[in-house]
Amino acid sequence: MKEKTFHITTFGCQMNEHDSEVMAGMLLEKGFTPVKERKDADVAIINTCSVRDNADKRFFGTLGQLKHRKKDDPNFLVCVCGCMMQQQHVIDTIKARYPWVDIIFGTHNIHQFPELIDNALNEKKKQVEIWPDGGEIVEGLPAKRLFESKALVNIMFGCNNFCTYCIVPYTRGRERSRKPSEILREVRELVADGVKEIMLLGQNVNSYKGADGVDFAALIYMLNEIEGLERIRFMTSHPKDLSDKLIQAFVDCDKLCKNIHLPVQSGSSRILKAMNRHYDKEQYLALVEKLKTAVPGITMSTDIIVGFPGETEEDFAETLDLVSKARYDSAFTFLYSIRKGTPAEKYEDQIPEEVKHERFNRLVELMNGISAEKNAAYVGTVQQVLVEGPSKTGSKTFAGRTDGFKLVNFRSETDMTGKLVDVKITKSNTFSLEGEIL
């Protein structure tokens, strides 16, 4: 009997990436084999993101491409899952316009995926299974990691913030935290399997509330004691939940990387209030200063939305001012796009696309200049790099990340994947560094 093959396409954030790792792990346990090209797979899975309009368009474009493959091979299975599937209008669209989709499931019942595969193969009929709420957290699911030496670890699911532009609370549900004991067990097993760095994941990771009163900072201290673990990272933080105790953890915990992603979204206090972000510009900048004072050299990244409804030129100037003062190492910048089902969808003062694009270009120019300046300061220094694998820059070159999450490319005659190596930085670029291994 021919072995079954699969291919997963992932849109969106690290949470989606980890969900795809779990699905891959479950399929491997069932005897399926991964393939690099979707056209060679017996089962194609598309894991969707609902945060940005561009991800929506890419998803439907990808789905359209599978029509002919399904026509040529009726046994070819098409599976769609992820955040978009938690929206009824998306499911209705798929049923009406993309009848070649075989399996539809959401964010809350990934553990059912193997069962849905079996049902689709045996019953030869469409499988649709969407849970409106998360229910109990299912532990012990397998995962096929993207990197041998790094691992993504979900510590909580869902979000309670209801920012007016964001669909996540509606697609991922309310906040649910895993037990500290389960997280510690998973990380110890990962370390035993060769993992040196973990990335703790949650929609709002620093609002984690584990059993027995263990908050996020306390969890960091516990993980810091695990022998063999080299680095701890986390994503994503909400400024309103960044406690003094967590800032102190950066000082006390040698394994906690001196790097933080702290989304600001806008530099205008008026727009931040309209976004329901629960802080203003001054409070955010005070938090940045507190971090930089407590943790000298900490690197910072952020998310910024350009063109939120009602954003004036004065509001945008406040964003440019905040970026100039915070001096981020990098930023994920986005054009605001209407998300069906969010409060901001109904705001009347939407910004014209040409205005959004013009502001976006100015922001990117400012941010790239700051990034280039900050990277230039690394030339001549020696940085410890965890090597992720071969670099895209050429043969016999490898790429990895510093403690501060700087991307470093360097040449090596031997494969350094998974190793922590010292690299002397010889050149800086806007988005990366180059160096020589010592």
From CA 261, how far away is CA 235, in angstroms rounded? 6
Q: Is 81 annotated as a binding residue?
A: no
Q: Is 257 annotated as a binding residue?
A: no
Nearest to 422 by CA among 109, 408, 198: 408
One-letter amino acid for residue 173 of the chain: G
Q: Is 163 annotated as a binding residue?
A: yes
Q: Is 253 annotated as a binding residue?
A: no
From CA 300, how far away is CA 327, in angstroms rounded? 8
Residue stretches of the annotated binding site for [4Fe-4S] cluster = 13, 49, 83, 159, 163, 166
Residue stretches of the annotated binding site = 13, 49, 83, 159, 163, 166
